[in-house]
Amino acid sequence: MLDTIIDEYATVEAFASLLAVEQKALTTAYPGEVLKPIVEQKTSMADKLAMLERARESHLRERGLPAGKRGMDLAAAEDARLNEQWGLLQKSAERARKLNFNNGLMIRTRMDYNRRILAVLRGTPEKASTFYGPDGKVPMYSGL
């Protein structure tokens, strides 16, 4: 089980580092080119993490321990090395969770901004009078 936790920790650390790269890319004007390979790498790492989690859960079942954090806490309480690695994994996972949350906020903000820009460019009668039309002129609406 210790080897699985060590591998899981290393993978979560790599995932968190990739999230930091993604975060930096999201601050650029045109992140599309950079984000595509990042998303592919994240998908691959997420698959590996899922496999490692299944292996960890299998180790817990073999020991007759409950699944999830409760089982790992019990297993770690019996083994100092496992306890140390489990603590590192939890800290790393929390760091990755925070990075992922922040990246999600950045993506939602960018999407909201793009949605608003598209609405402006498409124009609506009540808003179109304050924005220029496709011909570069402010449209005139009767009844305004």
> Residue 123: CA atoms inside 13 Å, Cβ hemisphere, count?
15
51-109 pLDDT per residue, tens: 999 999 999 999 999 999 999 999 999 999 999 999 999 999 999 999 999 999 999 99
Instruction: Answer yes or no: is pLDDT of 139 > 90.
Output: no
What's the token pair of residue 73?
């806490």
Q: Report pLDDT for 39.
A: 94
- pTM higher than 0.95 for the full model? no
Query: Which fold is adopted by the domain 2-124?
Result: Methane Monooxygenase Hydroxylase; Chain G, domain 1 (1.20.58)
**Residue that the structure tokens 């402006």 belong to:** 120
What pLDDT, on the 0 to 100 scale, is given for residue 129?
A: 47
pLDDT digits (tens, 9 = 90+) for 11-50: 999 999 999 999 999 999 888 889 999 999 999 999 999 9
CA atoms within 13 A on the CB side of 116: 6
CA-wise closest residue to 38 among 23, 52, 57, 60: 23
Q: Distance between CA atoms of 78 and 117, rounded to whole angstroms?
A: 57
Domain limits, the chain:
2-124
Tokens of 65: 């321990």
